[in-house]
């Protein structure tokens, strides 16, 4: 679909560094409106720091920003059944769906033509699954979803370069408390995740 048919995009945005590259790709074709909705991010101080970078970059480029609710309790309820699965698992898929569905709801309420997300910039995110979820929600809400793999063709590296140019804070973990705990391979949480996944592999053989 060309830009004359799709002129306003509600861009679900996870952080400033990812936004830099995605905005550089979309801005020539679409009227971009940022939607910061990430109740997965923990602790709240981390959430505020990432939000601050998004707002600062958006102000520099005159990009409108809508900030979603920090309804972390609801997010925890959604991912709780998958909490021990680890990265790139059904836990992450539930998180993608939770955030993207809220994006579609806001897009419908505010009459946006399309939805897109910065999530696919990260090499630690499953772009295929994100696009699959986005396509399903597109049918439910009758709003176009723009599929992407923004990390392709050097996109991730470009986001790093741009974020350095803007002096942005670059986070060290995905965002949720589980991803933060799993970075410490000596932690009891990491061992619990390993144990859970090893047990599942044995059962599924």
Domains of the chain: 8-176 (3.40.50.620)
Per-residue tokens: 112: 């946006």
Spatial strand order of the sheet with 8-12 comes to 65-67, 31-36, 8-12, 114-117, 144-145
pTM (predicted TM-score)? 0.90
pLDDT in tens, 19-58: 999 999 999 999 999 999 999 999 999 999 999 999 999 9
Write out pLDDT tens, residues 4-16. Answer: 455 899 999 999 9
Mean of the per-residue pLDDT values of the chain: 92
């Amino acid at each position: 679909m060309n830009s004359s048919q799709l002129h306003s995009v509600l861009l679900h945005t996870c952080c400033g560094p990812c936004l830099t590259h995605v905005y550089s790709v979309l801005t020539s074709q679409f009227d971009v409106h940022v939607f910061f909705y990430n109740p997965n991010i923990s602790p709240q101080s981390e959430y505020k720091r990432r939000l601050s970078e998004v707002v600062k970059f958006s102000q520099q480029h005159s990009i409108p920003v809508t900030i979603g609710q920090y309804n972390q309790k609801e997010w925890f309820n959604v991912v709780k059944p998958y909490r021990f699965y680890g990265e790139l698992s059904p836990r992450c898929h539930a998180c993608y769906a939770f955030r993207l569905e809220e994006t579609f709801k806001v897009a419908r309420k505010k009459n946006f033509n399309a939805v897109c997300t910065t999530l696919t910039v990260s090499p630690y995110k499953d772009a295929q699954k994100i696009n699959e979820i986005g396509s399903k929600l597109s049918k439910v809400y009758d709003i176009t979803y723009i599929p992407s793999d923004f990390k392709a063709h050097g996109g991730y590296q470009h986001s790093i370069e741009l974020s350095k140019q803007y002096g942005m804070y670059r986070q060290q973990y995905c965002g949720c408390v589980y991803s933060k705990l799993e970075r410490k391979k000596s932690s009891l949480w990491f061992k619990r995740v390993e144990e859970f996944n090893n047990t599942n592999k044995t059962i599924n053989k």
